[in-house]
Amino acid sequence: MVNNKEGKAFENPITFNRSFIWENKILSIQENILVKMPGRPIDDLEQEILYKFGNTGILESKTTISPKNYERDTTSILFKRNDVGQLFTVESKNAQETTITTHAYDSNGKLIRQDTKQIVGGNNSPDRREILVETNSFEYQFPKPNLVVRNNINNYGLTYSTFTTERNDQGFLIKETEEYLISKRMIEANYRYNERGWVMEVIRTDNQSQEIEKVTYEYDKIGNVIFAKKFINNTPVEEYEVLYQNASLVKAILHQDISSQMITIHKYEYQFR
């Protein structure tokens, strides 16, 4: 259920496997967040996140409800896609503002432009209008097989960074490198796999930092990621443990900050079609 194909399972903090959602006819997933501090009882943050999926397992919306100043604060994100399933717009809305990010693609399906707008005025206001606040465009180069270089271009038409992706002949991601042209900063991620093609280790380096970040992953016998651990300069700093029900559905994800020993508990409930 957790998609760790390229070592990015916990970045959002969870990446769902689209085909699993589709095949198991999952309509929505509700996430509830609790916190456990050393020597204290579990504290329910009363924060709920609701993920809703389309008929083909594509995430259509994400709604976060959390307490704020003793009131309930709601943030919703709506994902709209074009006829071929590419992400067309992302609309993020809360009580204060609405932000819309639009995406444009070339004939090969590669992202070539991204615009971010803010809505000024309410939905029913005659003064309602969209203000373009940021534009990024992307150009691609293919210097050799299995190597793609993406030039990231700002709204002045200037290339500010390049993002290089390298894969092996079987299509496995081997290396990602982002280089910022003005500061000369270079961030590199290297990927290592086990004999079954599952990501076992991701090592990230930054040429302007002394830190070396390493994330390791463990799996059960059918490929469910069950444990992840992050190290900075070989010192453990974070851990993720995934608990499953019926060997498939995620029951909970436990995230521990090792220095403070605080554990954040993400619990999941499901609604099926």
SS (H, E, C) 161-221: EEEEEEECCCCCEEEEEEEECCCCCEEEEEEEECCCCCEEEEEEEECCCCCEEEEEEEECC
pLDDT value of residue 224: 94
Domain assignment of residue 34, yes or no: yes
Domain assignment of residue 70, yes or no: yes
Domain assignment of residue 26, yes or no: yes
Q: What is the CATH number of the domain that holds 26?
A: 2.40.160
pLDDT value of residue 49: 94
Domain assignment of residue 211, yes or no: yes
pLDDT value of residue 66: 80
Q: Which of 31-35, 93-97, 207-211 shows the lowest per-residue confidence on average (mean pLDDT)?
A: 93-97
Report long-range pairs for 83-91 (Cβ below 8 Å, ≥24 apart).
84/109, 85/56, 85/58
How many whole angstroms separate alpha carbon 37 and alpha carbon 119? 40
Domain assignment of residue 132, yes or no: yes
Assess whether pLDDT exceeds 90 at residue 252.
Answer: yes
**8-17, 82-91, 138-147 — most confident range:** 138-147
Q: What is the mean pLDDT of residues 72-82?
A: 84
Domain assignment of residue 5, yes or no: no
pLDDT value of residue 71: 58
Residue 59: which of 97, 98, 12 has the closest Cα?
Answer: 12
What tens digit of pLDDT does each residue of 3-22 get?
Answer: 999 998 988 768 899 999 99
Q: What is the mean pLDDT of residues 112-126?
A: 83
Assess whether pLDDT exceeds 60 at residue 182.
Answer: yes
Please give the share of the chain, as a percent, with pLDDT higher than 90. 81
pLDDT value of residue 120: 81
pLDDT value of residue 72: 60
Q: Which of 5-14, 119-128, 155-164, 188-197 shows the lowest per-residue confidence on average (mean pLDDT)?
A: 119-128
How many whole angstroms separate alpha carbon 113 and alpha carbon 88? 11
Domain limits for position 132:
18-272
pLDDT value of residue 145: 95
How many whole angstroms separate alpha carbon 212 and alpha carbon 201? 13
How many domains is the chain built from?
1
Domain assignment of residue 115, yes or no: yes
Domain assignment of residue 7, yes or no: no
Q: In this structure, are residues 44 and 266 in contact, taking their beta carbons and an 8 Å threshold?
A: no
